[in-house]
Amino acid sequence: MPRTEQSGPGSARSAGRPTLEDVAARAGVGRGTVSRVVNGSPKVSAKARQDVERAIAELGYVPNQAARSLVTSRTDVIALVVPESFARLRSEPYFSDVIAGISDALAATDLQLLLILVRNEHERERLTRYLTARRVDGVLLVSVRRDDPLPDLLDRLDLPAVLGGRRSEREPLSYVHADNAGGARAAVRHLIARDSAAVATITGPLDMEAAGARLAGYREAVAEAGLTLDDALVATGDFTEPGGYAAMRELLDRVPTLDAVFCASDLMAVGAFRALREAGRRVPDDVRVVGFDDSVIARSTEPPLTSVRQPTEAMGRLMVQLLLDEIAEPGRPRRQMVLPTELVVRASA
C-alpha cells in the first residue's frame, strides 16, 4: 500500500514563498529583528542586520507590502494632483514636461505615482475623503490658483506636500516655481531693445500667481524704459491657443498700431500668430512675438518662436526631492525654491 506523507506544522508555508519566520530561523534571530531590518529601523546591530540580509538573499524573501504598510503607516504611493481638465492636460506641454521630471525622479524609488484630475466639486470632495484617509504618503499639486482650497486642506492634514507654483509670495507650503516676473522682464526688454514702441501683452488667468507675476514683469520693463503703461495693450488670456487667438484679435481692434506682443505662454503665442496672419500682419516684420515656456511648440512655429525658458522638467524633479525629504523627516521646515528662467531668441523677435 502506498505510504502517505503527513504534513508537519508549517510545512505548507515552507513549500510556498519564504516567510518572515523562515528568514528569522535561517538568520538565527527573532522575528521582531527581521521585521525591524525589513522596515529600515536603526535599532538593529550591524551583525544582526548582516545575518538577516544574507538570509533574505539566500531564501529570496519578498516583504509583504500590505503587512508592511500596517506597521509603517506608509502606502508607497505619491499623488500628483492636477486641478484641470483632461483636454488641458493633454494639450499643454507644461504638464507633460513636469510629469516627465516627476517620473524621472521617482524611477529609482519603490514609490508609485498616482495621477488625479480634479475637474469639479464632486471630484474635489472625493479627493478630500481620499487624502483624509491617508491613502497616499504625499502630494504634488500643480496648476495652483489663488482660491484653491486644496493647499489649505493639505496644510490642515499635515500631509507632506509640494506645490508646483504658489498661491502668493506668502505661500506657507513647500513649493517649486520659476522666476516668472524676471522672465517676463527679460522678454519685454528684448522687444523694446529692438525698437518696439507699442508692446502689448496677453496674460494668463489672473487668479494664478504665475500669470500675475508675468504681468507684473511686463509692467516693470515697460515703466523702466520710460514707455506709457496703457491698459489697452493688456488682454487677458487663459494659457490656451484659442484664448491667445481671441486676445490677439481684441488687442488689434484696440490698438491697430501695436508692433510687439509678449504672450504669457507658447500656446497663446500660437493663437496670436494665427490672429496676426488673418489680419495681414507679418511676424516679425510688422509685429514681434515672444512666448513663455520654451516648449517644443516654440521650435515648430513659423517663424520659430522667441520664448522664455522655464526649467519645467527640473522643477518636477526638485518637487519630488522636496517631497521625499518631508516624508522621510516629518515636521522638517518647509522649503520654497525659485528657479531661474532664460530668454531663448529665435526668428519671431
pLDDT per residue as tens digits for the range 105-154: 999 888 999 999 999 999 999 999 999 988 999 999 999 999 889 999 99
In this prediction, residue 173 carries a pLDDT of 96
In this prediction, residue 46 carries a pLDDT of 87
In this prediction, residue 40 carries a pLDDT of 62
Mean pLDDT over residues 32-39, rounded? 77
In this prediction, residue 3 carries a pLDDT of 36
Band of the pLDDT at 38, cuts 50, 70, 90? confident
Burial 64-92 (b: 16+ CB within 10 A, else e): eeeeeeeeeebbeebbbbbbbeeebbeeb
Fold of 11-72: 434 Repressor (Amino-terminal Domain) (1.10.260)
CATH architecture of 180-309: 3-Layer(aba) Sandwich (3.40)
Q: Which CATH superfamily is domain 77-178+313-340 in?
A: Response regulator (3.40.50.2300)
Residue limits of CATH 3.40.50.2300 in the chain = 77-178+313-340, 180-309
Mean pLDDT over residues 176-203, rounded? 97
In this prediction, residue 7 carries a pLDDT of 36
In this prediction, residue 35 carries a pLDDT of 76
Contact 297, 97 (CB under 8 A): no
Burial 196-216 (b: 16+ CB within 10 A, else e): bebbbbbbbbeebbbbbbbbe
* Helix-strand-coil split of the chain, %, nearest 5: 45, 15, 35
Residues paired with 114 in a beta bridge: 79
Residue limits of CATH 1.10.260.40 in the chain = 11-72
* Radius of gyration of the CA atoms of the chain, in A: 27
108: CB partners within 8 A, 6+ apart: none
Name, of 80-94, 137-151, 257-271, 327-341, the range with top average pLDDT.
257-271
Mean pLDDT over residues 18-25, rounded? 87
Band of the pLDDT at 171, cuts 50, 70, 90? very high
The dihedral over CA atoms of 303, 306, 311, 316, expressed in degrees to the nearest 10, equals -50
